[in-house]
Structure 1
Amino acid sequence: MFIVTRVRFKKYLVKRIASCIGLLCFYCTNAISSTEAISSPITLDISYVKLAQQQAPGVSTLFKKPEDSGYMGAKLAISDSNTTGKFLQQHFTLNYFIATKTTQFLDYLEKEYQQGRRIFILQAPSAQLVQVDHWAKKKPVLLFNVSESADELRNSQCLPSVFHTIPSNAMKSDALAQWLLYRRMNKVLLIQGSKAEDIQLATSFKRAAKRFGLKIIDEKQWDFNTDLRRSAQQEIPLFTQTVQDYDVVYVADKSKAFAEFLPFNTYLPRPVIGSAGLEALAWHSAIEQWGATQLQNRFIEMADRKMNEVDFAGYLAVRSVAQSVHKLHSNTSDKLIEYINSTDFELAAYKGRKLSFRAWSRQLRMPLALVHPHALVSQSPQPGMLHPITELDTLGFDAQESQCELSR
Structure 2
Amino acid sequence: MRKHPRLSFLLLSTACLAGGALVATPLSAAPEQAEPPSAQAPATLAAPEVTKVPVGYLKQEVKRPIPLSRLNVEPEDYGIAGAEMALKDNNTTGRFTKQEFTLDVERVAVGGDAVAALQRLVDSGHRFILVDAPAETLLALSDSVKGKDVLLFNVRAEDEELRQEECRANVLHTAPDRYMLADALAEYLVWKKWQRWFVVKGPFPEDLAYLEAIRRAAKRFGGTIVEEREYKETPGARRSDTGQQQIQQQMPIFTQGAPSYDVLVVADEKEVFGPYLPFRTWDPRPVAGTAGLVAMSWHPAHEQWGATQMQNRFQRLANRFMWPVDYQAWIAVRAIGEGTTRARSADFAPVNALIRSQDLNLAAFKGQKVTFRSWDGQLRQPIIVTGPDLPVSVSPQEGFLHEEAEVDTLGVDQPETKCKFK
Match of 1:303 among 314, 318, 335: 318
Output aligned runs, 1:146-225, within 5 Å. 146-225=155-234
Structure (1/2) with the larger helix percentage: 1
1:66 aligns to 2:91 (yes or no): no
Q: Is the 8 A contact 1:218 1:242 kept in 2?
A: no
Distance 2:129 2:327 in 1: 16
Instruction: Return 5+ residue gaps in structure 1 as ranges.
Output: 1-37
Single out whichever of 38-47 and 304-313 deviates more from structure 2.
Answer: 38-47
Which residue pairs with 1:356 in the alignment?
Answer: 371
1:383 aligns to 2:408 (yes or no): no
Distance 2:232 2:86 in 1: 41
Q: Is the 8 A contact 2:256 2:283 kept in 1?
A: yes
1:138 aligns to 2:153 (yes or no): no
Amino acid of the residue matched to residue 195 of structure 2? N
The offset of 1:67, in angstroms, is 2.3
The offset of 1:272, in angstroms, is 0.5
Q: Is the 8 A contact 1:126 1:148 kept in 2?
A: yes
Q: Is the 8 A contact 2:199 2:265 kept in 1?
A: yes
Normalised by the length of structure 2, the TM-score is 0.85
Deviations 1:173-203 (A, max 9, x none): 0001101111111110101111111111111
Distance 2:104 2:65 in 1: 28
Amino acid of the residue matched to residue 53 of structure 1? V
Q: Classify 1:39/1:247 alpha carbon distance in 2 versus 1 (closer, same or farther; 3 Å).
A: farther
1:259 aligns to 2:274 (yes or no): yes
Distance 2:325 2:226 in 1: 33
Q: Is the 8 A contact 2:386 2:392 kept in 1?
A: yes
Output aligned runs, 1:69-80, within 5 Å. 69-80=78-89
Q: Classify 1:337/1:378 alpha carbon distance in 2 versus 1 (closer, same or farther; 3 Å).
A: same
Instruction: Return 5+ residue gaps in structure 2 as ranges.
Output: 1-46, 237-242
Distance 1:302 1:175 in 2: 30
Output aligned runs, 1:92-107, within 5 Å. 92-101=101-110, 103-107=112-116
Amino acid of the residue matched to residue 74 of structure 2? K
Select the structure with the greater relative contact order (CA < 8 A; seq sep ≥ 6): 2
Distance 2:368 2:66 in 1: 40
Q: Classify 1:117/1:385 alpha carbon distance in 2 versus 1 (closer, same or farther; 3 Å).
A: same
Q: Is the 8 A contact 1:209 1:216 kept in 2?
A: yes
SS of equivalent residue, structure 1 residue 404: coil
The offset of 1:39, in angstroms, is 5.6
Distance 2:74 2:91 in 1: 28
Number of residue pairs matched by the alignment: 370
Distance 1:40 1:393 in 2: 42
Which residue pairs with 2:288 in the alignment?
Answer: 273
Distance 2:273 2:110 in 1: 29
Runs of 4+ displaced beyond 6 Å: none
Q: Is the 8 A contact 2:196 2:225 kept in 1?
A: yes
Normalised by the length of structure 1, the TM-score is 0.88
Distance 1:185 1:358 in 2: 30
RMSD over aligned Cα atoms: 1.6
Which residue pairs with 1:4 in the alignment?
Answer: none
Match of 2:299 among 269, 273, 284: 284
The offset of 1:58, in angstroms, is 6.6
Which residue pairs with 1:236 in the alignment?
Answer: 251
Single out whichever of 104-113 and 290-299 deviates more from structure 2.
Answer: 104-113
